[in-house]
Amino acid sequence: MLMRLDEHLKKASELSAFARERVSVGGLNRYRRFTRKVRDFFALAALVEERLDLLPEELGAAQMTTALDRMHARMVLLFVEGSASFFAAFAKVQELPVGTHEICGLELRGLLAIRQFLDDPRYEGERGQALRVHADRIANQMRAVMARVPPLPDFGDLPSVTPKGGYSKPIKPPKWPTVAKPESPPPAPGPAPEVQRPSQPPEVRELSLDDLMD
């Protein structure tokens, strides 16, 4: 797992450099690839740390823990310095792309989560203090960029959480599930039609000679 962490670290370094190239054209999307790799690194590092806590000392747990701490510090340094360089250039872009407010809001949350790492005792000293100052400056730059671009309207049916933690009211009214109307009862049967009885045939009688004379 330490080898995989080292691979994540190298890949993140490449993505950081790639994100700073032509910041005004697709730079924010490239920066997101960089931060995604950073988050993958820290997720894997947390898993490795749990495994090392259960590893016996005779198997070299102390040495691997030291190596993990070094890679952790290198990634924090890479993230802070890479983000500082990117947003120093991105803040100068005149025409920001659509969705910048929402994307920077998500990245701001990620930055504040990593900023909490710097409060760990392993980051005490002047270097840790400098990293905390850089992280706070990056957060302010992100907020300044977000202030330049209005948030996108919410086209959903329910209120959504904005990047700053507020609520955005939807434009469309909520679509409540339609309740099926109860079926109307069948009409009551009317009176039965009268059955016409067949008329009786006329009475037939024989004519006599007297009838003919009349």
Total domains in the chain come to 1
Q: Is the dihedral of CA 150, 156, 162, 168 positive or negative?
A: positive
Residue 81: count of CB within 10 angstroms of its CB: 14
User: How distant, in Å, are the alpha carbons of 11, 79, 131, 198 from that of 136?
Assistant: 25, 13, 9, 106
Percent of the chain clearing pLDDT 70 (strictly above): 71
In this prediction, residue 26 carries a pLDDT of 86
Whether 183 maps to a domain, the answer reads: no
Dump pLDDT digits (tens) for 6-45.
898 899 999 999 988 878 888 899 999 999 999 999 999 8
Q: Across the strands, what pairs with 3?
A: none
Assign 194 a pLDDT band (cuts: 50, 70, 90): low
pLDDT at 188 over 70: no
Among 70, 171, 162, 86, CA closest to 122: 70
Whether 100 maps to a domain, the answer reads: yes
In this prediction, residue 176 carries a pLDDT of 52
In this prediction, residue 86 carries a pLDDT of 93
**Average pLDDT score over the chain:** 79
In this prediction, residue 112 carries a pLDDT of 92
Whether 201 maps to a domain, the answer reads: no
Per the CB < 8 A criterion, the answer to whether 165 and 112 are in contact is no
Q: Return the axis-axis angle of helices 27-53 and 100-115, rounded to nearest 10°.
A: 30
The number of residues in the chain equals 214
In this prediction, residue 78 carries a pLDDT of 93
Whether 44 maps to a domain, the answer reads: yes
Whether 103 maps to a domain, the answer reads: yes
Which of the pair, 5 or 212, is modelled with greater confidence?
A: 5
pLDDT at 134 over 80: yes
Domain CATH code at residue 82:
1.10.357
Dump pLDDT digits (tens) for 37-93.
999 999 998 888 888 887 777 677 788 888 888 898 899 999 999 999 999 999 888
Which domain range does residue 80 map to? Answer: 2-168
Whether 180 maps to a domain, the answer reads: no
Whether 142 maps to a domain, the answer reads: yes
Whether 38 maps to a domain, the answer reads: yes
- For the CA atoms of the chain, what is the radius of gyration? 41
Dump pLDDT digits (tens) for 87-104.
999 988 888 888 899 999
Residue 158: count of CB within 10 angstroms of its CB: 11
